[in-house]
Chains A and B, each alone.
Chain A
Amino acid sequence: MFKYQFRWDTVWGSFDFLMGGLEMTLIISAITLVLAMIGGLIIALLDMSRFRVLRWIGVSIGEIVRNTPILVQLLWVYYVLPIVFGIRIEALVALIIGLALYQAAFISEVYRSGIQGVPKGHREAAQVLGLTPIQSFRRIVLPQAIRMTLPPLASNFVQLIKFSSLGAVISVSEITRRGMELSATNFRPLETFTFIAVVYFFICWPLAMGIRFWERRLQAR
């Protein structure tokens, strides 16, 4: 038998400290999502650009980001960018930049499939009725594309909540980092990290379920 004297009180004693970290986690995730949505749009526009150079840049960013580990990217932003540009970047800023860049590469694909998911016939109907390409994009393509991209964007938020735990490595004081600090002082990693895992789960799981339900409803329309 696994004999262990659980000491949950060590966790309850630092509840506020950990919840402060959770707040940090959620704020980081939200800010990063907004930045990643903008970044994703820029990459998507580069990808679809008429100019070869811009397309090449967009595709390169996407491929590099999607094919290197996110942790390495974070370390790179935190340690390399300051050397290259001769500036100090705060860990929090580095985390947000790194995560945003990473998610932007995926979100650009979400946008792209959203736009390409609008049947060609819808645009042709607009064209025959005399709408200009810009009018057709704004009134016919975009509203439908946005509707299709909302659930994947929400999924990205869930991913960000989990990925932001990587901030612990560069000592951003989000919930995982605080857990590491706490367990270093209370010598109770089992209780501490179990509690933290449970917190992540009960935030991410309902969100993921909600998104799945939402997606199914959108498909039924």
Chain B
Amino acid sequence: MSASPILLADSVTKRFGNNQVLTRVSLPVMERDVVCIVGPSGSGKTTLLRCFALLEAPSEGRIVMQGVPIATAAPDRQVKSAARAVRSDIGMVFQHFNLWPHMSVLENLIEAPMLVKKMPKDEAVAIAESLLKKVDLSDKRDAYPTRLSGGQQQRVAIARALAMSPKVLLFDEATSALDPELRREVLLVMRQLAQEGMTMLVVTHEMGFARHVGTRTVFMDRGEIVEEAPGAAFFDAPKTERAQRFLQQFEDE
């Protein structure tokens, strides 16, 4: 183990009121890792991802990016400015896409680069167009999000996240809101990204993706990481009883 993690959850505990949702979760993410997080509903997967995305602050513990703390329970000035600096290095793809409906596909893609990175418009447009080509939606450049299928919307959302050239991309059940026949097109894009070496943290119910594309699988239950194993190993030989029980429900699939 020579390399240090690009992104790290360091003993993160999260409480909502009296409800403790995460209990001392530690999870390092290495560069080019594709970490898949699986687990039953309510186990805290989304909450963990939102902590990484800086949408929730940990109640205890820290989020660390390339050695620098970017979120703590009581962030001081230094942590806050570190968070601002790396904000757009951590991209996120949401279950419900969250595209901005009053903007066209292209406008969705160029908004953040122009506002946050102060990129000139023609450069932002050029990048957006190449990303749309990559997710196979060049012809939807000027369409409005509500005119697109769920699968198309999610691919636009991925392109929008990529437009900021993030170092890490977080996916929260990116395919669960989609009809089964639309999932494939999104999973293909995600797979392609993984092959290109994107560092990814993927909360998913797609066991096939976790097994074949993931480099590591993390199994969460009741706010804790119960088991962790390289890609397929988790599925072939789950060690804990809770993981075995969890995997049983997917056996008929």
Chain A positions near chain B (C-beta within 8 angstroms): 119, 121-122, 124-131, 135, 139-140, 143-144, 147, 221
Contact = CB atoms under 8 A, between A and B. Distances in A.
A221 B94 contact: no
28 contacts: A119-B98, A121-B96, A125-B99, A126-B100, A126-B112, A127-B55, A128-B54, A128-B55, A128-B87, A128-B90, A128-B92, A128-B161, A129-B91, A129-B111, A129-B112, A129-B161, A130-B112, A130-B164, A131-B112, A131-B116, A135-B116, A139-B111, A139-B115, A143-B102, A144-B101, A144-B102, A221-B101, A221-B144
B174 interface: no
Contact of B55 (A122, A124, A143): A124
Nearest to B95: A121
Contacts of B55: 124, 127-128
Given A121-B98, A129-B116, A135-B116, 5 more contacts: A119-B98, A128-B87, A131-B115, A131-B116, A139-B111
Contacts of A126: 100, 112
B164 A129 contact: yes
Contacts of A147: 102
B100 A140 contact: yes
A217 to B, nearest CB: 13
A39 to B, nearest CB: 26
B87 A130 contact: yes
Interface string B38-66: 00000000000000011100000000000
A140 B98 CA distance: 11
A128 B91 contact: yes
A193 to B, nearest CB: 46
Interface string B72-86: 000000000000000
Contacts, number: 58
A124 B94 contact: yes
B171 to A, nearest CB: 12
Nearest to A220: B146
Interface string B94-138: 101011111000000001100110000000000000000000000
Contacts of A127: 54-55
B152 interface: no
A129 B116 CA distance: 8
Smallest CB-CB A-B distances: 4 pairs: A130-B88, A129-B112, A130-B116, A121-B98
A212 to B, nearest CB: 21
B216 interface: no
Contacts of A130: 87-88, 112, 116, 164
A124 B98 contact: yes
B160 interface: yes
Contacts of B157: 125
Contacts of B101: 144, 221
B53 A128 contact: yes
Contacts of B94: 121, 124-125
A143 B102 CA distance: 7
Contacts of B88: 129-130
Interface string B140-170: 0000101000000000010011001000000
Nearest to B163: A129
B136 to A, nearest CB: 22
A139 B54 CA distance: 21
Contacts of B92: 125, 128
B91 A122 contact: no
Nearest to A221: B146
Most buried by A among B54, B55, B88, B102: B102
A116 to B, nearest CB: 16
A139 B108 CA distance: 11
A25 B88 CA distance: 54
A139 B112 CA distance: 10
Nearest to A138: B115
Interface string B206-250: 000000000000000000000000000000000000000000000
